[in-house]
A and B are shown apart, each in its own frame.
Chain A
Amino acid sequence: MPKASSARPIWTGSISFGLVTIPIKLYTAVREHRIAFRSLHDQDQVPLKQKMVCPADGKEVHPEHIVKGYEVEKDHFVIIQKSDLEAIAPKASKAIEIQDFVDLDQIDPMYFDRPYYVAPKPEGAKPYKLLMEAMVKTKKVGIASIVMHNKQYLAALRPLDDALCLETMHFDDEVIPSNSLPDLHQKTKVDDRELKIAQQLIESLTTEFKPEKYKDEYRERVMELIERKSKGQKIVNRPERESTTPRKANDLIAALEASLAKTKTAITASRTPRRRKSA
């Protein structure tokens, strides 16, 4: 399991439940390992930047001239100013208000979005521990609402090992019900014998869940590739390109280097010509 980030908390506030208030901080609990690539110009490897361009005249539009519009119907927009949104933004409440307690297995994993660790501030250590132990004993998780960065979230608060964990959740209307899928409700009969064999197969493969067993192998291969490339090792994956144009280009580069070296001996005799090894 990855360690809780020792870095800065992403949010501070308090959990309120009944008459108790527990000052806490939130820390990131999951860090995704995404490999970021940048877009470069193939000719000179300059990192490219994006511009907002108006398709009407092809000209760049600068940020001060960009407003947000909501498309109410095709080609009809309602302009929403930042101030409009600020006026109705959720109050920057600093409280995680526990509204209900429920059984964890009643919440389908589909509802979970992002986990955070909840750590007590020093003065909150005692009620923090109290809440956690009560939740362990009753085997319940708290359903709470929280406002972070001007956005309202639904969240589940649950004990995890010796800490509390806050998991942001999707609102019900964000979850798409499976009955909207096609081909799911065709009338088919399941053969008893086949079902038994399938059950046996599942049982023979059943083991304990060990998350460390599963690796992002593609990511590892990409990182390996990057490592090799950065050490200057050639990656041979494009035999068809190897043979044709580059050879010609290499010849020309060699000719250019030679011609450049000649100019130096002619003009700046003081400087010793540095010639690169063959390209």
Chain B
Amino acid sequence: MSKVARRTTKKTTAKLAARPSVSTRASKVPISNPTKPLFPSGFTKGEMIDYYERMAPILLPHLRGRALTLKRYPNGSDKLFFFEKNCPSHRPDWVETVRVVGRSADSTNDHCNITTRDGLRWVANLAAIELHVPLGKADKPDVAGAVAFDLDPGPGVSLIDCARLGIRMRDMLANIGLQCFAKTSGGKGFHLYVPLNGSTTFAQTKAFANMVAVTLAKDDPQRITASMSKADRPKRIFIDWSQNDRHKTTVCVYSIRARQTPSVSSPLTWDELEEAIAGKDEASIRFDAGAMLKRVERVGDLFKPVLTLKQKLPA
């Protein structure tokens, strides 16, 4: 190991003394390097494991039955990462897996299916900062549990601009009888979910999402694009509708994002969004791991309807 790395570890050990929440729960899952800082802000691996464990009651329903893809950052959130679809072969035997057929029929992946608090602890200990899940469950790979729109702001567009578009989309969808729910991506943009929880297929959700995005982009081409083309992005919000695909994953609600600080993909109420827009207050709708732990004690799981509300797309 390099000198630099050793020095950093020492520094954080000192810092850590002042921090209360490091995972101390008795568990069969051993933890390695809890004092190792995983984020430039100093947030450690131990603190991250603690976050995921304490979030378990709220987070697990959003993971259960889904083919989890791990985005692992073994050396920290600003260092090299890799996506891991296959559940690592050294997994304990109690970690469940689900088999998913890839784009070509002969390629399969056995993903982790995380159903327990210990499972979360184990995954977090792999330095899997980000948890990515598909919109459907593994046992019904063609069925989409929800329609998702990823509102991705291009250069020169703020999170507040995205929030405004989110409100318009909420109203637009309401006019055709659909309720939707918003979360921050934890990064720059917004995710909008239309719960379905029926038998709607990805073929249907993708076509629908495309039409919604294209309709909006045609209406306001100066500020919205439905095209992935980089040239169209500056000063516009890209409505990414293409994630409505059985092979695509989106960052799971309540997942930490690998950024400077441990920001969280946070569900929001529409009131919170409207207030943030009125006050042009981006900070009020951004939550990091610590803030999220306090927040869920107060508001519970705002994203629960995404798993339970049954809706149908207009034919």
Contacts and interface: CB of A to CB of B under 8 A. Distances in A.
Contacts of A267: 167-168, 171
B171 A263 contact: yes
Interface stretch (B148-156, B182-190, B208-216): B208-216
A46 B211 contact: no
A163 B314 CA distance: 71
A263 B172 contact: yes
Which secondary structure dominates chain B's binding surface?
helix
B215 A44 contact: no
Interface size class of A (residues with CB under 8 A): 20 to 34
B229 interface: yes
A260 B215 contact: yes
Contact of A260 (B216, B229, B242): B216
B150 to A, nearest CB: 14
Contacts of A219: none
A263 B208 contact: no
A97 interface: no
B202 to A, nearest CB: 12
Given A43-B210, A46-B229, A248-B315, A263 B215 contact: no
B169 to A, nearest CB: 9
Contacts of B211: 249, 252-253, 256
A249 B242 CA distance: 17
A259 interface: yes
Contact of B215 (A43, A45, A253): A253
Interface size class of B (residues with CB under 8 A): 20 to 34
B60 to A, nearest CB: 29
Given A256-B176, A256-B215, A263-B171, A44 B210 contact: yes
B215 A257 contact: yes
Contact of B175 (A248, A253, A259): A259
Interface string A47-74: 1000000000010000000000000000
Contacts of B173: 259
Which secondary structure dominates chain A's binding surface?
helix
B239 to A, nearest CB: 10
Contact of B107 (A41, A47, A58): A58
Contacts of B219: 257, 260, 274, 276
A255 interface: yes
Contacts of A252: 208, 211, 314-315
B206 interface: yes
A274 B222 CA distance: 14
Contacts of B216: 260
Interface of A: 41, 43-47, 58, 248-249, 252-253, 255-260, 262-263, 266-267, 274, 276
Interface of B: 102, 107, 167-168, 171-176, 206-208, 210-212, 214-216, 218-219, 226-229, 241-242, 314-315
13 contacts: A44-B228, A44-B242, A45-B227, A46-B229, A252-B211, A253-B215, A256-B176, A259-B173, A259-B176, A260-B215, A263-B168, A267-B167, A267-B171
6 residue pairs, one from A and one from B, having the closest CB atoms: A259-B175, A263-B171, A256-B215, A46-B228, A260-B172, A259-B172
